[in-house]
A and B are shown apart, each in its own frame.
Chain A
Amino acid sequence: MLTITDLSHIYPNGVKAISNLNLTIPTGMFGLLGPNGAGKSTLMRSIATLQTPTQGAIQFGEIDVLKQPTRLRAQLGYLPQEFGVYPRVSALQLLDHFARLKGFSKTKERKEMIEGLLSQVNLWEARKKAVASFSGGMRQRFGIAQALIGDPKLLIVDEPTAGLDPEERARFLNLLASLSDEAVIILSTHIVEDVSDLCPSMAIMAGGRIVLEGKTSELIGRLDGIVWRKVVSRTEVAEHQSQYRVIATRLFAGETVLHVLSETDPANGFLPLQQGLEELYMATMQQDRAVDRRTP
């Protein structure tokens, strides 16, 4: 279990990226959603020992992450949103390098592990090619492979499926799911579906805070009967926005679809909507913005 207590981080330019954040993440997949600038990456870097927070504590099992970073790293797999590679180094060589750095001293064992990972992420054919020449998707698959070295007990993945085609994405999600029995896996993503498909628990971050946290199914259930949809013309959008709590404006088959939040039936052509995580996220963000506007 990962426990984050009173975590705050202020950058030198004064930006408060995380503010008194408390979070407990159990074993299994944990989804982290939030808009750009919400503090997700700062949080994940702090957990991954890449950044020392201004204050607070992070505990992973018996490990005090901030005081015993090397102990945590021995159990950590990390895939950042973006990463570079060494030029002229093949996937096999680079993965071998990471395996060595993770402490795998036995050549045979290392070789087996690396080959298995390369097969898993479908890079076996390209294993001797320079990673620097990989396409975006291939590089992402390589990143996944390196994060999985050494059977991590804490796996932090930031936008892991970005750039993957649907088939690869499904394959990767299955891979993650297979690891989730014994590890804490934090999945930060903008693809809400990934969280809803995989994560029994989740949190939504905004403005450096956790604005919503809980079991995914329970959180989605909170929206039962309060989300409504209506197809409107473009000219009607503004009028509806002023009258209702619009949480999302979408286009579907060339028409504008409004999602609104209402405890009661808003009538006026609105139909009840089958609730999902995306609506939850939108609603939460809408509420958070409303709170922010009210805060002097």
Chain B
Amino acid sequence: MFWTITRFEAWYQLRNVYLLAWAFLSLSVTSAIFLYEPMRIDPGESLISTSATYFLLIFLGIVVGLMVPMTAILGGAVVRDLQLGSGELLKATLLTRTGYVFGRFLGAFLPIALIYLLHIVLIWLVCQWPSLPANKYPDFELAALLQPAAIMASTLLSMACILFAVGTLARSALVSYIIIALLIGAWVFTLTKVEFGGYEEMRNALDWTGFASVLLANDTLSIHERNTELLTLSPDFYRNRTVWLCIGGLSLLAAWLLQGTRGGLWGNRRIDAAAGPMPPEDGQLKRYQTKLDLAALRTQIWARLTLDLKRIVISPAFGLLIAGAIYLFWIIANNTGSFGDRGIEPVTRLLVKELYNPSMLLVALTASIFASELVWSDTDRRIHELIDVTPTTSWVYVIPKLLVVCFATMSFVLVGSAAGLAAQAAKGYPLFEVGKIALWLWLPMSLTVLQFSAVALFCHCVTPNKVWGWVLYIALAIGISLLSDLTGVDHVLFDYAFVELVPLSDFNGQAHFWKNNVWLQLHWTLIACIFLLSAVLMWRRGVEQRLKPRLAALSIELRSATGLALAVVCLASLASGSWIFYHTNVVNSFLTDGGYKKWAAQSERDLAPLESWPGPTIVALKLEVDIRPKKVTATASGALTLENRTNRPLTQFILNHGSIFLESASMPGANLKEEIKDYGIAVWTFTKPLKPGEKRDLTFKSSIDGNTVASENPPTAVVSNGSFIESSKLVPSVRIDRGSWLIDPKERQKYDLPEKRPLPDAMVDENNYTPGSAWVDADIIVSTDVGQIPVAPGILVRETVKDDRVTRHYRPPVKINNAFAVQSANYVVKRERIELANGPVDLEIYHLPNFTRNVEVIMTAMKSSVQTFSELYGPYPFGVLRIIQTPSYGARDIAAQAYSGTVPFYEDGGWLQIIENRKWVDDLSHITAHEVAHMWWGHQVRPSARPGARVLTEGLAEMSSWIVLKNLFPNDSTFSYFHDAESAYSTGRGKEKTGEPTLSTLEGEDYLAYGKAPIVLDSLRTAIGPHAFDAALRSFIETHGFADRPYPNVQDLIGSIKQAAKPEVHSVIDQLFNERTTWNSEISYLDIVKPTKTRAAVRLTARAWIETLDKLGKPVRSTGIKGAPLRFFESIRCSEDELKRTAELNNVTAPDILRDNCMMTEQIAQYTVDLKPSPQNLQFDLPTTRWGSGVRLGDAVRWGGKGAVNSQSYASSLYPHEDFLPSQKPK
């Protein structure tokens, strides 16, 4: 009987049109991902295409996609018998409960499994496809396909069991869909949003896909390893799979048990209420007449409203969704207190930022759920004929349903906000700023709710069933926007109801940006009204489900007041749309994403020839900036002094103003010859050639207007409080700028650009900060409204206050980079002065009055950094150092940046940071030290544009910051910054798109500039000796500081370091800078025998080798390590001093509780051996009575003794352990 049921069910489901359609769609999309380049899924790892990692991602997508038909099929496998009434017929046969439940499950699961299998076969086939380019899937291995397929098959099975149980329990397709939506939603947010801190195991346990634990175990693989090796499956993974398969099994059991309960087929059924006895007749029925007046209309609307509201509010689906929303928003809100890896105060602005998009997404998804339920419920319950013959207008149905859908969807926003407030309070921010949430979130979201609710009602009203309703809804509400993005026609007018959150800041809340969104909100609300009025006009009544008869009747309906209203709203929306279009496309230059890339490619083709033009150099700058915070505008007038530093007279030059609104420019003896408006480039000719060494001034005027209409990225430079205007937004340059050119190799290929375009000789030795500009003499005047402080680089020369305007005149004491920022806000200033050998330095911190929490931390780090770097690298040249709190509008997830003498410190990363333990390195001190180090590395030494430049700026600044951190936090032995850099490198290199460069060829790679470079520099500092190394850097600055062309490059740095190092180390330096190498050691076997009390016989197997890798991480050469020390050690309990230090560092008040766990090692003996890449058996006879713990080889440690296991017996790092370096002492 079991097999009969299974066979029938499988046959029945295989004839399901929706399942077949889904399978077809899924298989088509899967093959397109492999065969059709634009659809290819790119996980940021273009070089990885046939790896198990890649296939895992693909199968994950397939399984998540299959959840939808699985929910329908498995959720309905049993329930349909109850709904259709066929259950009783089945029960009357010889069928048993066991055969029925498990047979139905297996029968429903088999078609799903078959579809999954088809995907595997399909992928295998497309990877064999002969017409594919040979290099597309070069290393395809069947095992790499089957392993992830098997991993995800386990997910498919466990989820099938769960969905089957859910469907059987809930007996509602809607509830099943909601549960699966919640599972997927919770999974996405759990994986991407939640910082689990020390509870990573919890995350792994919650991950029903098993994906996270696999990903985590394989996160640091190189590209080569990813392409050639199978996935490493950690114990966490096996635990996860066991747990979820058990949950699946138990779910199946629960489904079996449920069938025996009252609600199940094998349980006792409910008995109808009994009819009462017939009373005697009691005369005529009293007659009542109805009157359809306004009161009646109110009564009708109220009746429908209360009924619809009850219907939704008391439904289990709503409860589930609310519970799910609380969970999701709690998780999301918990992410509020983090900036990257740093913990920050969860202020309401950040909370709203976290809640806004998920709220919008949830509203978009659930509006259709509720609309479909409400629109179809009368029909589903077969009461529609009774309802529809009542004398009600369509408004009586539409208005209540709209209000209820709005209420239901808005509930998620409200409970989400409540969860957010609770999360804030739990994180120690119990201010409950409901007013801000209402203004920033609830107000715009209430319009969003209305907009999505209206379109959802319309879609379910005009379609013949729920499925088509959903299809139309997805198409209208989401599809158009998505399609416009995918096809590159991504105009703001295609994004129905998706209005971006206004930029928020602690400086001025939503500032003037709300005005930017007003037109969009108005427009979408008008469109929503069109949907709503159309729904009223075409409301379905009676038994006719088709749209055609309603469309036929529309000509009559349109003659009503509703029709007139529709016409008015259509005209109004046309007007608002036109206004938005005018501002987007006419007032501003609009480019779609595709259009922008095309433009960028064309600009590269057009402007590349101009790069090699010889041009004058900017040597001085005068700038006067007039900031008008209330008007949200700024105007600038200035003069650039241009000097001919070539050896030939110049007859023309380029003035590049890019996207700057340049009102005028003039120069004596020069005329505008040609303007290339598309790129903001002007070609000027000298009527009288500019002779070598001659200088001339170019004067200009430019402006910024922050008032915009419906802009997706409104300009944020000028605001009512917290203006931050980078000089590039006001001051033109005289060279071609590559900033907008395409970088992604795939896109470059797509637009027929060469893989790389080397800099022309004229540019290669330019500085990489501000090409065409030497170190400049700067003179800057900034004015703003009284109440705010205008800030710019340089010493404050004069301040005047007149006509409610405050003007400050700044002049740097030395030349600066022609890249800086002027700022204005209602700051208070914390000032300190430190006296150094070369004179005093003023330290100033500009911050908002109520942001005082971290001022002392920043000041301490500033002082320490300036002192340290002045001693190590030479005097601080700018006289004053300002750290300035800055709105985080354009921060792009960075915490701060450095200009000459000023450091804009963004409000999120810096001012909200929570420092829990002042004894440990905190990120605020780290960032401060890093940015201050740029005053030497970047603002004194400015590298050329040659590859490797960022080693001289970011690499050296980061390494230097570690010196400060070691000074400030001498007791912190965790070296978290070091491990962060290691982690950044090891995860970053595996995601390379074109292969890993070396340090001397790096260009934009952050994982090398901030990861490998400081590690290499720091290890060389250790190897060479800090004194010699620092002296070399000081000398490097003395040679290249403030020097103009030729600017230094990484080879100059390598030369300086080599000069400080012994010749034996030179090859190591070359390896570190010019190659990709790893230093490896392993002790694979250790055996200890103590033949006598005074001797120990030790046998071990060890190897040590340097591995050279190609750009994909594939080993190409291995060499052994000579003179590697094997250190034999014994573990001992911590001394009292050590115990006390550890306790203090960990904030432990009672050191005794650490006593049992605090262990140290003490070296007993050391032997030096030459080791090869292949394992060598070694034997030692140690004259000791004490030894018995283990052996250390570099970072590889193996413990001896009974049952000792050590995971570090193999160690690999990208820098040499100091044991492996030739003996070093300062020269």
Shortest C-beta distance, B239 to chain A (Å), equals 43
Shortest C-beta distance, B84 to chain A (Å), equals 15
Can you list 23 contacts pairing A with B, beta carbon distance less than 8 Å? A45-B542, A48-B385, A52-B553, A67-B556, A74-B290, A74-B292, A82-B382, A86-B311, A101-B391, A102-B391, A103-B291, A104-B299, A105-B296, A113-B286, A120-B285, A124-B276, A126-B275, A150-B289, A165-B278, A167-B278, A171-B281, A174-B281, A178-B285
Other-chain residue from B302, B386, B391, B542 in contact with A51 (beta carbon distance below 8 A): B542
B300 touches A133 (CB 8 A): no
Complex: how many Å from CA A126 to CA B390?
A: 24
Residues of A within 8 A of B849 (CB): none
Which residues of B in the span 387-411 have a Cβ within 8 Å of any Cβ on A? 387-393, 396
With A101-B396, A138-B275 as known contacts, state yes or no: A48 contacts B389, CB within 8 Å: yes
Complex: how many Å from CA A151 to CA B388?
A: 18
Residue A85 at the B interface, CB < 8 A?
A: yes
Residues of A within 8 A of B388 (CB): 49-50
Shortest C-beta distance, B226 to chain A (Å), equals 55
A51 touches B300 (CB 8 A): no
Mark A64-89 against chain B: 1 for CB-CB distance below 8 A, else 0: 00010111011010101011111110
Q: Which residues of A contact B (CB under 8 A)?
A: 12, 45, 48-52, 67, 69-71, 73-74, 76, 78, 80, 82-88, 97-98, 100-105, 109, 112-113, 116-117, 119-120, 122-126, 129-130, 133-135, 137-138, 143, 146, 148-151, 165, 167-168, 171, 174-175, 178-179
A51 touches B544 (CB 8 A): yes
Residue B284 at the A interface, CB < 8 A?
A: yes
Shortest C-beta distance, B272 to chain A (Å), equals 5
Mark B294-332 against chain A: 1 for CB-CB distance below 8 A, else 0: 011011101110010001001000000000000000000
With A83-B382, A84-B381, A84-B383 as known contacts, state yes or no: A100 contacts B302, CB within 8 Å: yes
Mark B633-676 against chain A: 1 for CB-CB distance below 8 A, else 0: 00000000000000000000000000000000000000000000
Shortest C-beta distance, B311 to chain A (Å), equals 8
Closest 8 A/B residue pairs (Cβ) = A50-B542, A84-B382, A103-B296, A100-B303, A101-B390, A73-B391, A74-B391, A105-B295
A50 touches B273 (CB 8 A): no
Residues of A within 8 A of B300 (CB): 100-101, 103
B272, B389, B396 interface centre (most CB from chain A within 10 Å): B389
Residues of A within 8 A of B279 (CB): 119, 122
With A76-B389, A84-B382, A146-B386 as known contacts, state yes or no: A126 contacts B276, CB within 8 Å: yes
Residues of B within 8 A of A104 (CB): 288, 290, 296, 299
A133 touches B273 (CB 8 A): yes
Complex: how many Å from CA A70 to CA B314?
A: 32
With A103-B290, A103-B296, A171-B281 as known contacts, state yes or no: A86 contacts B389, CB within 8 Å: no
A70 touches B391 (CB 8 A): yes
With A97-B303, A135-B275 as known contacts, state yes or no: A49 contacts B296, CB within 8 Å: no
Complex: how many Å from CA A84 to CA B556?
A: 32
Residue B543 at the A interface, CB < 8 A?
A: yes
Complex: how many Å from CA A146 to CA B385?
A: 12
B272 touches A134 (CB 8 A): yes
B382 touches A135 (CB 8 A): no
A50 touches B281 (CB 8 A): no
Residues of B within 8 A of A74 (CB): 290, 292, 391
- Closest residue of A by beta carbon distance from B542: A50
Shortest C-beta distance, B541 to chain A (Å), equals 7
- Closest residue of B by beta carbon distance from A75: B391
Residues of A within 8 A of B549 (CB): 52
Residues of B within 8 A of A100 (CB): 299-300, 302-303
- Closest residue of B by beta carbon distance from A147: B386
Shortest C-beta distance, B367 to chain A (Å), equals 23
Given contacts A74-B292, A104-B288, 18 further A-B contacts (CB under 8 A): A45-B543, A50-B541, A52-B542, A70-B392, A83-B383, A83-B385, A84-B381, A100-B302, A101-B303, A101-B391, A103-B290, A109-B288, A113-B286, A126-B276, A133-B273, A134-B272, A150-B289, A150-B290
Residues of A within 8 A of B382 (CB): 82-84
B285 touches A117 (CB 8 A): yes
Complex: how many Å from CA A104 to CA B390?
A: 11
A80 touches B385 (CB 8 A): yes
Complex: how many Å from CA A71 to CA B549?
A: 20
Complex: how many Å from CA A112 to CA B481?
A: 55
With A151-B287, A174-B281 as known contacts, state yes or no: A78 contacts B385, CB within 8 Å: yes
With A151-B289, A174-B281 as known contacts, state yes or no: A83 contacts B276, CB within 8 Å: no
Complex: how many Å from CA A174 to CA B281?
A: 10
Residue B282 at the A interface, CB < 8 A?
A: yes
- Closest residue of A by beta carbon distance from B311: A86
Residues of B within 8 A of A149 (CB): 288
Complex: how many Å from CA A104 to CA B392?
A: 12
Other-chain residue from B272, B302, B387, B389 in contact with A135 (beta carbon distance below 8 A): B272
Shortest C-beta distance, A74 to chain B (Å), equals 4
Residues of B within 8 A of A125 (CB): 276
Shortest C-beta distance, A284 to chain B (Å), equals 28
With A101-B392, A148-B285 as known contacts, state yes or no: A134 contacts B385, CB within 8 Å: no
A168 touches B544 (CB 8 A): no
Residues of A within 8 A of B302 (CB): 100
Residue B94 at the A interface, CB < 8 A?
A: no
Which residues of B in the span 237-279 have a Cβ within 8 Å of any Cβ on A? 270, 272-276, 278-279
Residue B546 at the A interface, CB < 8 A?
A: yes
Residues of B within 8 A of A67 (CB): 556
Complex: how many Å from CA A116 to CA B282?
A: 10
Shortest C-beta distance, B277 to chain A (Å), equals 8
With A78-B389, A101-B300, A167-B278 as known contacts, state yes or no: A178 contacts B288, CB within 8 Å: no
Complex: how many Å from CA A49 to CA B387?
A: 12
Residues of B within 8 A of A84 (CB): 381-383
- Closest residue of B by beta carbon distance from A88: B314
B386 touches A49 (CB 8 A): no
Complex: how many Å from CA A12 to CA B895?
A: 66
Complex: how many Å from CA A122 to CA B292?
A: 29
Other-chain residue from B282, B296, B383, B544 in contact with A86 (beta carbon distance below 8 A): B383
Complex: how many Å from CA A145 to CA B653?
A: 93
Complex: how many Å from CA A179 to CA B279?
A: 20
- Closest residue of B by beta carbon distance from A150: B290
Shortest C-beta distance, B440 to chain A (Å), equals 39
Complex: how many Å from CA A87 to CA B381?
A: 9
With A137-B275, A138-B273 as known contacts, state yes or no: A98 contacts B289, CB within 8 Å: no
A49 touches B383 (CB 8 A): no
B279, B386, B396 interface centre (most CB from chain A within 10 Å): B386
A133 touches B272 (CB 8 A): yes
Shortest C-beta distance, A216 to chain B (Å), equals 24
Shortest C-beta distance, B262 to chain A (Å), equals 14
Residues of B within 8 A of A168 (CB): 278
Complex: how many Å from CA A48 to CA B392?
A: 14
Other-chain residue from B286, B296, B389, B392 in contact with A116 (beta carbon distance below 8 A): B286
Complex: how many Å from CA A120 to CA B282?
A: 8
Shortest C-beta distance, B229 to chain A (Å), equals 57
Complex: how many Å from CA A137 to CA B275?
A: 8
A49 touches B389 (CB 8 A): yes
Other-chain residue from A83, A87, A124 in contact with B386 (beta carbon distance below 8 A): A83
B298 touches A105 (CB 8 A): yes
Which residues of B in the span 537-553 have a Cβ within 8 Å of any Cβ on A? 541-544, 546, 549, 553
Complex: how many Å from CA A120 to CA B279?
A: 9
B286 touches A50 (CB 8 A): no
Complex: how many Å from CA A141 to CA B388?
A: 20
Shortest C-beta distance, B172 to chain A (Å), equals 12
B299 touches A105 (CB 8 A): yes
Complex: how many Å from CA A134 to CA B284?
A: 25
Residues of A within 8 A of B286 (CB): 112-113, 116
Which residues of B in the span 541-583 have a Cβ within 8 Å of any Cβ on A? 541-544, 546, 549, 553, 556
Complex: how many Å from CA A49 to CA B553?
A: 13
B284 touches A178 (CB 8 A): yes
Complex: how many Å from CA A97 to CA B390?
A: 11
